[in-house]
Amino acid sequence: MTVDARQPAPSQAAGPSRRAASPGRGQILLELKNVRKIREKGGVTFELRVPRLEIRAGEFLAVVGPSGCGKSTLLDFLGLVLKPTDYELYSFFSTAGGIDLGSLSENRAADLRRSELGYVLQSGGLLPYLSIADNILLPARLNRLGGDFAARRLKKLAERLGIADQLSKKPGHLSGGQRQRAAIARALIHNPKLVLADEPTAAVDYPTAREISGLFRDLTSRSGRGLVVVTHDLELVRPLADRFVSFKMQRLNARHTVSTLTEVSADG
């Protein structure tokens, strides 16, 4: 039965615990079925349809497509910042069981987003007035994780990402590649189950982008985290991603466009 997001179904489980163990590789983290979002502006309608999408632990999912196809809308679904117009299944799976995301209040969604998701912005999104160390530690502090745990995670991630000697500096003193490495560390510091990245290497040169993408994949795959990367560059993620999805665009009329998420091969 289809659920209208304006009349949500009861939640299937209580909210997430403060800190959970790494999920087993292959475990479903997020599942969408017959999810639809309709947006209207100035008499023009854009409709995103997601017939089926499963995101699993330890998996790198690449979302590939040109501007305007619905990548950002999909990422907003996955990041729990946008509710669908209607859906059959829109669930996150935690240690407490399945959670119907469409029924969550804004506060409950924020709690889940803070504890279980990591996010890397195209620009990095580092706060310019904080040191790199303090930027990275923000999610750990927001989740009230122990100081010793956070310090160990910071040291390990900074060493792995090659920024251990940059931690006392402000973001403005780092190169673009170093800032993106710090942003990746920040997304991983609190051990989220799922990490979302929106064009995370768009602001750096191609060799740096390839190196950062490889490190990102290794860090998430080894720890059993799910990774979703939105990109327009199929060549960059082709050798790294486990699965690829794109969008099939259909213009119903001059004022109504439908974009349907479709799984594709590495060849596009």
Which amino acid appears at position 130 of this protein? Answer: L
pLDDT at 187: 93
Q: What is the pLDDT of residues 30-54, one digit of tens each?
A: 999 999 999 998 889 999 999 999 9
**Total-model pTM:** 0.86
* pLDDT > 70 in the chain, percent: 90
Integer Cα distance of 106 and 143 in angstroms: 17
Model confidence band, residue 268 (pLDDT cutoffs 50, 70, 90): low
**Any idea what the CATH number is for the domain that residue 64 is in?**
3.40.50.300
* φ and ψ at residue 63, rounded to 5 degrees: -105, 110
In the chain, the number of structural domains is 1
Residue 200 belongs to domain spanning: 3-17+26-264
Is the pLDDT assigned to residue 213 strictly greater than 80?
yes
Q: What is the dihedral of CA 78, 52, 39, 1, to 10 degrees?
A: -110
Model confidence band, residue 18 (pLDDT cutoffs 50, 70, 90): very low
